[in-house]
Amino acid sequence: MLKGIFASMLFFIVTHSDAQLGVMKMVGKNTSNYSFGIGAYVKGIFSVSQSSDVTVELGANIFFLNDGGSGDGTVIIPLKAGYRYSLNGTGLGFYVEPQIGYNIYGVTSTYVDGNTENLKFHGLVFAANTGYLFLIGNTPLDLNLRYETVVDHGGSDNYVSLGLSFYLHFGKRDNE
Amino acid sequence: MIRQLFIFFLMVIFLSSCLKQSIADAMIADQDPGAKGVATLTYQINGNTVTTTVNGPDDQTSTDYQLICSKEPYLSTNFFLYGLDCLSTTGELTFTFGTALTVGHYSYLGSYGDMFILNYNNQAEYAHDPADSISFNITSYSQEHINGNFSGVLTPMIKAGFPNTYGTPGSVLITNGSFKNVPVFSW
């Protein structure tokens, strides 16, 4: 019951949503065996003003390990909240969006002393996201570049992503 | 205000990404604390023990290292060449695994052609004689670190020149060789 009320509230509060597909690359020490990864997310956007939005984002990122087949790679599923600020104040153009959140599920499948181990983790997530909001026809698009880090067990997984997102239309503000 | 917040956020991200190991590396190190911070290579050459120990092996660089397995582009191809390199107090030891690095057996025979393997107190030892050989076993390769063992029979090079002058064939015995927690570096 409570879940239903909460979902209904979100439906009326969220002014619109984004969905994205992106290309990602793990960076940092000992990441040379990772090939390009792919990521996707859905993002709820709560408009605060013409230039500012509060965002909530659920993502799924997959990084493939290319070390001769001994391990599969890493999966990270972060849930983040962010503050998106349009630099020219119009809601379009360049923006910055710091995000913070929690990694709901993470696993690295790797080869350890003759066995494939699935190392599961969670951890805090920080992201610095910047991008460009623009229209093609009436379709709003968002081309963005992001640096994200997950911190857990005294280590960190860091990656950059380049993505293009599009709006999911279901809120009133889409028609404004 | 927004700018300060974003700069603060960038600093947090920068600092967190400065952590020296991936989450998986950290978890594996937690499982095996003994392998966390030391790389070693040891062998006996005609009964004399040579040991090299490196604390914080992951902090080595391409210009300042003692014990690494390097991963370098192979000529102008898309392949990489993997090689073990150790700079001990008695001299260098080097061995090229090839264009793939997996758990398994690697060997070089003297019949393939002369190949420098190591220096011991200014004496270069080669795989030279057809009966010479050097064999390496990689027993584990995980999270960009390798463990294994090696042994061999080599020939000393007495004097470099045209042609080189070699000593008694097969007179250098490499025994009880082992290496542990050697980081694999790309450059």
pLDDT tens digit sequence for A25-47: 988 877 877 888 999 988 888 88
- Name the DSSP class of B89: T
Instruction: Nearest chain A residue to B148 by CA: give it.
Output: A113
pLDDT tens digit sequence for B5-19: 667 767 766 766 666
Label residue B33 left, alpha or beta by phi (over 0 means left) and psi (-120 to 50 means alpha): alpha
Whether the CB-CB separation of A75 and A98 falls below 8 Å is answered with: no
Task: For B115, list phi and psi in degrees, rounded to 5.
Answer: -145, 125
DSSP three-state, residue A143? strand
Answer yes or no: do A30 and B27 touch at CB < 8 A.
no
Answer yes or no: do A151 and B22 touch at CB < 8 A.
no
- Average pLDDT of the segment spanning B134-158: 92
How far, CA to CA in Å, does A79 sit from each of A26, A96, A127, B6, B84?
19, 18, 11, 19, 42
Compute the mean pLDDT over every residue in chain A, rounded to the nearest whole number.
82
Quick check: pTM over 0.80? no
Mark out chain A residues that contact chain B at CB-CB < 8 A. Answer: 28-33, 67-68, 70, 74, 83, 85, 96, 98, 100, 106, 108, 110-114, 119, 121, 123-124, 126-128, 147, 149-158
Answer yes or no: do A114 and B24 touch at CB < 8 A.
no
Assign A15 a pLDDT band (cuts: 50, 70, 90).
low
- Average pLDDT of the segment spanning A152-160: 90
pLDDT tens digit sequence for A101-118: 999 999 998 776 556 778
Answer yes or no: do B24 and A152 touch at CB < 8 A.
no
What is the C-alpha separation between B45 and B151, in angstroms, rounded?
10
ipTM value, please give it: 0.80
- Average pLDDT of the segment spanning A77-105: 91
